[in-house]
Amino acid sequence: DTAVSQTPKYLVTQMGNDKSIKCEQNLGHDTMYWYKQDSKKFLKIMFSYNNKELIINETVPNRFSPKSPDKAHLNLHINSLELGDSAVYFCASSPITLGRDGYTFGSGTRLTVV
């Protein structure tokens, strides 16, 4: 039973299209995140939600819109896709207080914009 599952695993799409990535966690965690990993493997936070409430919104273009229907789900919708959006997007979750617990990551969505 996968703890953090995100779909799809691979996404190839044309510039200008709109696409969504879905994420679900069954760990009972209160906090969920979206991170972007670039071609140099650098992981950068995009958004964080606590119990459906947006907590962190880094300097991400308005074309990216997260949505959390409940605390177990955090989806990412991207409008008007650009070549530079190509990357691996990771969803993660954690308890509300990090302590010695870390993030549990999904296996990533590799987005390729052509």
Partner 1 sequence: TQLLEQSPQFLSIQEGENLTVYCNSSSVFSSLQWYRQEPGEGPVLLVTVVTGGEVKKLKRLTFQFGDARKDSSLHITAAQPGDTGLYLCAGARGGATNKLIFGTGTLLAVQP
Binding site for partner 1 (CB under 8 A): 4, 31, 35, 40-45, 48, 50, 55-56, 90, 92, 94, 96-108
CA dihedral 58, 63, 69, 75 (to 10 degrees): -80
CA–CA gap between residue 95 and residue 18 (Å, rounded): 31
In the complex with partner 1, the residue whose CB is nearer, 15 or 43, is: 43
In the complex with partner 1, the residue whose CB is nearer, 15 or 54, is: 54
CA–CA gap between residue 86 and residue 38 (Å, rounded): 8
Nearest distance from C-beta of residue 92 to partner 1, angstroms? 7
Sorted by sequence, the CB contacts under 8 Å of residue 91 that are 6+ apart come out as: 4, 6, 21, 23, 25, 32, 33, 34, 35, 74, 76, 105, 106
Nearest distance from C-beta of residue 49 to partner 1, angstroms? 11
Nearest distance from C-beta of residue 106 to partner 1, angstroms? 6
In the complex with partner 1, the residue whose CB is nearer, 4 or 81, is: 4
Nearest distance from C-beta of residue 19 to partner 1, angstroms? 20
In the complex with partner 1, the residue whose CB is nearer, 44 or 79, is: 44
Residue at 20: amino acid letter = S
